[in-house]
Amino acid sequence: MSNQIYIDESRANALLARPRFSIPEPITSPNQSQAVLQMTAAYVYALTHIELSKTIAAIFQETNQGVTDPDVCVLTHVEPSKTIAAILQKIEESVTDAEMYDDNESRPTEDVVRGIKELVQGTEALLPGVRFPTAIVRPLDGSIRITWVKESGTVRLVYSENPVDRYIFHEEVLGGRSYSSGIDRHPTPRSLASWLEWLNSR
């Protein structure tokens, strides 16, 4: 069970400025994952923003009934490596790191770097407030590979110069072994967002 929920930073600050939590209206959707409202109470968990809004509303209903303690919430920042935006920096670092390449290995072209960044940026816009497993970024033979791994699954975006060689690989993992894998050969922000939401829900 996670004990973290995400809300917009300005909303979080406004809430924390209150002597008690008394939300006049339910929060309907989280915004960008700029802040996390970390609950020390054990009953909070939310992995999708739909569940999140329900959970937040439920929490505050309870707090309004005097269940909580004034010190229950602490505002912290989301770990940078867990946001999609942070991947842009990782892409830059990995493609410029000479140790990431074998002798005579092709480097990703500027078009490949720009293309995968645009795809990631487009995906971020479709996933407000969602956190992910830490991404691993690696160049390989002119392509760039971004992998999100959980114990229960993997999503990997592979972006090459040739559109035919671009894909999203996804697999479910059970007991440390893959038992269902596939490839989406048309990676778009929407398809990547869909697979990342799938991974996040597992």
Partner 1 sequence: MRSKKWIGDDGTTVLAEAYLRRPTDTDGLSVGTTPQAVKGLLLRVKGIAILRVNDIRTITNMDTRIHLDVVLNSDSPTHGNINTGIPYLSDNPILAEFFAGELARISKLLTENDT
3-state SS, one letter per residue, for 82-131: HCHHHHHHHHHHHHCCHHHCCCCCCCCCHHHHHHHHHHHHHHHHHCCCCC
- What's the closest the beta carbon of residue 39 comes to partner 1, in angstroms? 28
Going by C-alpha positions, the residue among 120, 138, 127 that lies closest to residue 188 is 120
DSSP 176: T
Rank residues 85 and 183 by Cβ distance to partner 1 and give the closer one: 183
Minimum distance between the CB of residue 12 and partner 1, rounded to whole angstroms?
29
User: In the complex, what is the shortest distance from the CB of residue 70 to partner 1, in angstroms, rounded to a whole number?
Assistant: 38
In the bound state with partner 1, the residue whose beta carbon lies nearer, of 49 and 166, is 166
Q: Which residues pair with 153 in a beta bridge?
A: 150, 172
Cβ proximity to partner 1: between 90 and 131 the closer is 90
Contacts with partner 1 by CB under 8 A lie at: 94, 97, 99-102, 134, 136, 138-141, 145, 147, 154, 156, 158, 165, 167, 169, 171, 173, 176-178, 181-183
Shortest separation between residue 140's beta carbon and partner 1, angstroms = 6
- Would you say 191 and 159 are in contact if contact means Cβ atoms under 8 Å apart? no
